[in-house]
Amino acid sequence: MKIIKIIFFVFIIINNAYANEDFENWLNSFTKTALDQGISQETVSIVLKNAKFLPNVIKYDRYQPEFYEDTKTYIGKRVTNKRINNGSRLYAANKNFINEIEKKFSVEKELLLSLMAIETNYGKYLGKMDIISSLATLSFDKRRSEFFTNELLIALRLIDKKLIDHKILYGSWAGAFGNFQFMPSTIKNYAIDYDKNNKIDLKSINDSFASAANYINKIGWKKNSPCFKKIKLKNTIPIKYLNTSARMIKHKKKFKYYKKYIENSKNIKIQDNAKIAIITPDKDIVDNADIYSPAYVVFDNYELVLKWNRSLRFALAVCTLKDNFYEIL
């Protein structure tokens, strides 16, 4: 057993050594691309040249909770009494400001608290990864290179324009930053210097709440509209109508069309003409999962949470926590 472990660790060391060498070659090539894209020599020299290959980032990318936890487990870990109580205390301490943001952007405070709770546990877990190195590692990796290359270039441009300070750019393994875990493209398109101090500080309550509300508002959030309802499906429903992937929600139809496939549909308070889709989030994740359970009817707002984080479970957890806040705030 000891010999096997030694061989395993030697393999990791050798593999990482090759990866580091390949990464350095990639970084030299990317540096030329960045300069050609208009990134300043100063930013390239100070910021990009210090990027490192982070093997843990690749490991985290391959093994995310959204890829292996069943829905009940995933939601149960994230929607807890402690998290609800902590959110209530955060709201009480910033009540006037959060109410102001809710009114100005027409986004429920309950949703904002839920997003912050599940993304960073109210700012307690912002991540400690060097964001430039994380983005560079994922850009170098082949799995989603195009997406992360674009995010890295945007981050460098934001640094160039002095909109963000590279010295504080530490966050998640995926390159997300601040209380609500904004990617560089989200910072560029939606982040707000709400307190008008000439910098965007997404670790502050003011800028982060305003930026999150601006983002979800701009992509079409409908205040006081539902996200989902849990249902029990009949096994007569054609499999093609069951959405198991967050990539694209398909087969959206009026609720009255699906009623014949839902147990006790007469008792579900959804208007017949409401456009809905059906998801069964465990199907493609859990071995030997029940094809028809758990099942949920989802609405437009649910799909907007998917734009925030493309995971069926993440969106369910956010909306579940939001509904819990409604009962106490």
- Could you tell me which residue, 209 or 248, shows the higher pLDDT? 209
Given this model, what pLDDT does residue 17 score?
A: 43
Residue boundaries of the structural domains of the chain: 2-64+127-177, 228-298
Query: What does the pLDDT look like over 26-38, one tens digit per residue?
Result: 999 999 999 999 9
Report, as an integer, the average pLDDT of 290-302: 96
Query: What does the pLDDT look like over 213-262, one tens digit per residue?
Result: 999 999 999 999 999 999 999 999 999 999 999 988 999 999 999 999 99
Of the pLDDT bands very low, low, confident and very high (cuts 50, 70, 90), residue 209 is: very high
Cβ atoms 273, 254 nearer than 8 A: yes
Query: What does the pLDDT look like over 33-80, one tens digit per residue?
Result: 999 999 999 999 999 988 999 999 988 887 766 667 889 999 999 999
Cis peptide before 238 (omega within 30 of 0): no
For the cut 60, the answer to whether the pLDDT of residue 197 exceeds it is: yes
Model's pTM, two decimal places?
0.89
Q: What is the CATH number of domain 2-64+127-177?
A: 1.10.8.350
Given this model, what pLDDT does residue 199 score?
A: 84
Residue from 216, 118, 135 nearest 175 by CA: 135
Given this model, what pLDDT does residue 69 score?
A: 83
Residue from 304, 37, 284 nearest 153 by CA: 37
Residue from 74, 76, 79, 68 nearest 289 by CA: 68
Query: What does the pLDDT look like over 171-185, one tens digit per residue?
Result: 999 999 999 999 999
For the cut 50, the answer to whether the pLDDT of residue 10 exceeds it is: no
Which of 3-12, 87-96, 159-168, 286-295 is the most confident on average? Answer: 87-96
